[in-house]
Amino acid sequence: MQFIRDRDNREVDFVIIKDNIPWLLIEAKLAETTITNSLRYFSERLKVPAIQLIWKSGINKNFGNVRLLSASSWLSNLP
């Protein structure tokens, strides 16, 4: 697990890497229900799925390759 940032200061909080290849992008926000530009940019550029986790419960929406999801829902499904 890493973070990612480019020269233009676009940044994503977490990048899960599998076999030295980016596998999943994760952005953590308190309540922002608009997908961040950085998350969308890196998801498209790296061609990997992305999740923006927020504190508010009951949220589960897809925006193309990016999913907006309640942190509690995602974390409760981890092994």
Range of the domain at 27: 2-76
CA distance 21 to 30: 28
Q: Which residues contact 7 (CB under 8 A, 6 or more apart)?
A: none
Residue reference for tokens 């974390």: 75
pLDDT band at 5 (very low <50, low <70, confident <90, very high): very high
Return the pLDDT at 31. 87
Pick the residue with more confidence: 1 or 24? 24
How do residues 50-76 score in pLDDT, each as one tens digit?
A: 999 999 999 999 999 999 999 999 999
CA-CA-CA-CA torsion for 39, 42, 44, 48, nearest 10 degrees?
-90
Provide the 3-class DSSP secondary structure of residue 29.
strand
CA distance 33 to 6: 23
pTM recorded for the entire structure: 0.91
If one counts the domains in the chain, the total is 1
How do residues 37-52 score in pLDDT, each as one tens digit?
A: 999 999 999 999 999 9
